């Protein structure tokens, strides 16, 4: 086996032998330099070699396999032989995420990527497959459903990728994966990406990978105390509301000087423009600027001529500004080391700094990786409400008035107050003046509350560990009504685990994990508690679908 590590020297995407059209797409998306996993994995994958890669979530591994597999795409082929790549992933969220990335990279080729997972319309997926697609990104159970229905044909597949392989095995998909791999042509390329390499992963690698290039990206070590003087908080915000949430948080935090980090130069430019339109003194810093432009931006920022520096990691390397009070991660960093370097820009000279991270709901694993690497807790905050903003604005107004009183330069205004005092109470006059000042600062529009996401108990849906399974009375109290028991005709004999049943209900019936009660697994059947008012709907959905690729009988429990 050829082994490549993260010690490979950094170089640009142009050195990796990628199609020039892909390089243009990456430039348009604002990508500046490949991550270590991309540097190590892209060359052997592009050469057609099997790859066994160990890398944590969030290291840029999606691009590491997506970019080279796009070389095999030919959208002009007939639908039945057009499919060139299959990517297996553990969850529907990851399927959508990977499909979105492949679509962005491959748009220049006219490539189509189809996410296939439980809980979505089977009929719509079948129609898309009949029309022809270039890449299918699927969860194992739903992929097996399509294979057995003869709506997914793998005879033309040249590349198969197992993404988050260790998680798929932990979820009980080992048999499904083996069955799917057995449907592939004898000659194909296999790439296996996993955060860990336990014995069960090694077993699959030995069975299905031929002389693979082994890529191992070590998790960066973080020295204890490196982030000790930085208050760390994350806000879980839907993607559509990130900009509004950032503006609200900046309004309430009122940083003296802040750096906002983005992943791409395109995002930097867009964010800078939007913040400037909102009245912030913001400057952009990224690799698309000339050295003279960068120098001028940094000179203004150091001289406090701008309040916000919006930057990419590459452009901000070596940045040392003593007066930075806040660092904002507009996106969760892909690497823990990057997070530590970013937030190290604040909390200098013995002062406490603030590190703020905006996380989308599906990015909770990246935050957990960072917590594990730094051995420090990241608090989960709630986006400030409109009331919080008004309170903060009044506090700032009070402070401004206090400063003016201390300066004692008010003589030109005293005659006006004396005239008004003949007819009005002095306290009322002061309150009216403050109201006028507040209206001038805030404008006439009433601020709106921003939707926020409350982390839920399930390991895959939030940041807290799943709570212990509650009693039936506790569960009934939690869901606010009667509880029904559902009989599922599969158990230990079919290697069914509680997570399989919970996942099927959550995926097929779109029921939150918090509304699924105790699961009892027997040898040949299982019993699960669900809210009474949703029981018939859940039974119908599970009866029309499969669990771990198998049709099972589902009904109300009669015991």
Q: CB within 8 A of 420, min separation 6: which ones?
A: 429
Residue at which a domain ends, from 384, 405, 430: 384
Which has more pLDDT, 499 or 249? 249
CB 550 within 8 A of CB 542: no
Residue 113 covered by a domain:
yes
Domain that holds residue 60: 2-216
**Residues 404, 476: one domain?**
no
Same domain, 316 and 378: yes
**For the chain, first and last CA: distance in Å?**
56
Please state, for a pLDDT cut of 70, what percent of the chain lies above it.
83
Question: Is 263 in the same domain as 238?
Answer: yes
Are 532 and 509 members of one domain? yes
- Any bridge partners for residue 550, and if so which? 547
Does 463 map to a domain?
A: no
Question: Does residue 451 fall inside a structural domain?
Answer: no
pTM, rounded to two decimals: 0.51
Residues 237 and 377 grouped into a single domain? yes
Chain segment 139-173, per-residue pLDDT in tens: 999 999 999 999 999 999 999 999 989 888 877 88
**Residue 324: closest CA among 220, 229, 252, 441:** 229
Whole-angstrom distance, CA of residue 423 vs CA of residue 426: 9
pLDDT at residue 120 in the model: 82
Q: Looking at the structure, do residues 134 and 244 belong to the same domain, yes or no?
A: no
Last residue of a domain, which of 398, 420, 442?
A: 442
- Tell me the three-class secondary structure of 136-205, residue by residue: EEECHHHHHHHHHHCCCCCCCCCEEEECCHHHHHHCCCHHHHHHHHHCCCCCCEEEEEECCCCHHHHHHH
Assign residue 484 the CATH number of its domain.
Answer: 3.30.70.330
* One domain, residues 477 and 546: yes
Domain edge (last residue) among 216, 239, 265 = 216
d(CA 385, CA 340): 29
The per-residue b/e assignment along 141-150, b for 16 or more CB within 10 angstroms, e otherwise, is bbbbbbbeee
pLDDT mean over 221-228: 48
Neighbour tally for 452: CB within 10 Å: 17
- Asked whether residue 245 is domain-assigned, the answer is yes
Q: Same domain for 158 and 274?
A: no
Residue 92 sits in the same domain as residue 143: yes
If one counts the domains in the chain, the total is: 4
Residue 247 and residue 206 in one domain: no
Q: Which CATH number covers residue 187?
A: 3.40.50.300
Q: Has residue 16 been placed in a domain?
A: yes
C-beta atoms surrounding 407 within 10 Å? 8
168 and 291 assigned to the same domain: no
- Give 263-297 pLDDT, tens digit per residue: 888 889 889 988 887 788 899 988 778 778 877 88
Digit-coded pLDDT (tens) for 320-374: 677 888 999 998 887 777 787 788 778 655 567 899 999 988 777 788 888 887 7
Regarding whether 281 and 203 lie in a shared domain, the answer is no
For 210, the 3-state DSSP assignment is coil
Q: Look at 120-129, 376-385, 420-429 and tell me which has the smallest mean pLDDT.
A: 420-429
Handedness of CA 259, 263, 264, 267 (dihedral sign): negative
Would you say residue 458 lies in a domain? no
- In this structure, is residue 460 part of a structural domain? no
Residue at 432 is within a domain = yes
Neighbour-count burial of 131, counting CB atoms closer than 10 A to its CB (0-12 exposed, 13-18 middle, 19+ buried) = exposed
């Amino acid at each position: 086996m050829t082994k490549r590590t993260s010690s490979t020297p950094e170089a640009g995407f142009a050195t990796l032998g990628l199609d020039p059209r892909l390089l243009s797409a990456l430039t348009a998306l604002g990508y500046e330099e490949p991550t270590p996993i991309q540097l190590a994995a892209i060359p052997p994958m592009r050469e057609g070699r099997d790859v066994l890669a160990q890398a944590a979530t969030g290291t840029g591994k999606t691009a590491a396999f997506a970019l080279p597999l796009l070389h095999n795409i030919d959208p002009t082929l007939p639908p039945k032989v057009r499919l060139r790549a299959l990517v297996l992933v553990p969850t529907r969220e990851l399927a959508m995420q990977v499909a979105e990335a492949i679509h962005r990279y491959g748009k220049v080729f006219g490539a189509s990527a189809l996410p296939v997972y439980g809980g979505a319309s089977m009929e719509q997926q079948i129609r898309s497959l009949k029309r022809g697609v270039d890449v299918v990104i699927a969860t194992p159970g739903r992929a097996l459903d399509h294979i057995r229905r003869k709506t997914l044909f793998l005879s033309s597949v040249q590349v198969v990728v197992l993404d988050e392989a260790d998680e798929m095995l932990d979820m009980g998909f080992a048999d499904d994966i083996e069955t799917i791999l057995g449907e592939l042509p004898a000659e194909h390329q296999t790439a296996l990406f996993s955060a860990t390499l336990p014995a069960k992963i090694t077993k699959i690698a030995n069975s299905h990978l031929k002389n693979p290039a082994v890529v191992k990206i070590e998790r960066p070590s973080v020295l204890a105390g490196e982030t000790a003087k930085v208050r760390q908080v994350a806000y879980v915000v839907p993607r559509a509301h990130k900009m509004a949430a950032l503006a609200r948080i900046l309004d309430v935090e009122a940083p003296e000087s802040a750096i906002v980090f983005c992943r791409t130069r395109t995002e930097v430019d867009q964010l800078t423009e939007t913040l400037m339109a909102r009245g912030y003194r913001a400057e952009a810093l990224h690799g698309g600027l000339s050295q003279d432009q960068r120098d001028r931006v940094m000179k203004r920022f150091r001289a406090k001529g701008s309040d916000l520096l919006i930057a990419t990691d590459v452009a901000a390397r070596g940045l040392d500004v003593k007066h930075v009070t806040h660092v904002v991660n507009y996106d969760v960093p892909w690497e823990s080391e990057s997070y530590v370097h970013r937030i190290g820009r604040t909390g200098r000279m013995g002062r406490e700094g603030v590190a703020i991270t905006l996380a989308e709901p599906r990015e909770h694993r990246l935050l957990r990786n960072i917590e594990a690497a730094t051995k420090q807790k990241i608090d989960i905050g709630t986006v400030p409400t409109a009331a919080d903003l008004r309170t903060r604005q009044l506090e700032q107004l009070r402070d401004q008035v206090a400063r003016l009183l201390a300066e004692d330069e008010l003589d030109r205004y005293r005659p006006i107050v004396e005239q008004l005092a003949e007819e009005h109470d002095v306290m009322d006059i002061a309150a009216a003046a403050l109201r006028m000042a507040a209206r001038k600062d805030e404008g006439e529009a009433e601020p709106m509350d921003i939707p926020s996401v409350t982390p839920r108990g399930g390991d895959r849906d939030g940041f807290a560990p799943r709570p212990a399974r509650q009693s039936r009375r506790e569960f009934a109290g939690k869901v606010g009504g009667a509880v029904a028991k559902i009989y599922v005709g599969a158990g230990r004999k079919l290697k069914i685990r509680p997570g399989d049943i919970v996942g099927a209900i959550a995926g097929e019936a779109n029921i939150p994990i918090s509304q699924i009660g105790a699961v009892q697994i027997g040898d040949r059947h299982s019993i699960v508690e669900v809210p009474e008012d949703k029981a018939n709907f859940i039974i119908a959905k599970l009866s029309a679908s499969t669990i771990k690729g198998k049709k099972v009988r589902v009904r109300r429990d009669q015991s």
